Amino acid sequence: EVQLLESGGGLVQPGGSLRLSCAGSGFTFSTYAMSWVRQAPGKGLEWVSVISGTGGTTYYADSVRGRFTSSRDNSKNTLYLQMNSLRAEDTAVFYCAKGSSAYFSDVRFFDFWGRGTLVTVSS
């Protein structure tokens, strides 16, 4: 059974940093691209980033590019999202999602998701 478990969320002040983790199990983690998707309170889902199966290539939404960095440790079956220069508008539940392919360019959908971790940016 595929499982994704996010952690690392919490309350952080504007301008601060936070690192989220997503532990994957039940599939060969290194052979799939992974994404982060977020949902601000009362809003819809917003794609944030994608990372290839090897971790060598990443892409980001315009709203986070230059502030967020996605990485992965395939030896630990874990995906990370380093978030810097956080803003109030980054407040959201962050989900990790498994891509449908190892290559981000071939990802057509996200077939498994975690339950999310809440990030609150507030002073």
Q: Which residues bind another protein (CB under 8 A)?
A: 4, 35, 37, 43-47, 50, 59, 61-62, 95, 97, 100, 104-105, 107-116
Residue (17 or 71) nearer to another protein, CB: 71
By beta-carbon proximity to another protein, the closer residue of 13 and 57 is 57
Identify the CA nearest to 4 among candidates 118, 100, 119, 98: 98
In whole angstroms, give the CA distance from residue 29 to residue 78.
8
Closest CB to another protein among 35 and 78?
35
Coil vs helix vs strand at 8: coil
C-beta of residue 41 within 8 angstroms of C-beta of residue 30: no
In the complex, least distance from residue 123 CB atom to another protein, rounded to whole angstroms = 27
| Calpha distance 68→85 (Å, rounded) | 9
CB of 51 to another protein, least distance (A): 11
Q: Which residue's CB is nearer to another protein, number 84 or number 103? A: 103
Decide: helix, strand or coil at residue 39.
Answer: strand
Nearest distance, CB of residue 108 and another protein, angstroms: 4
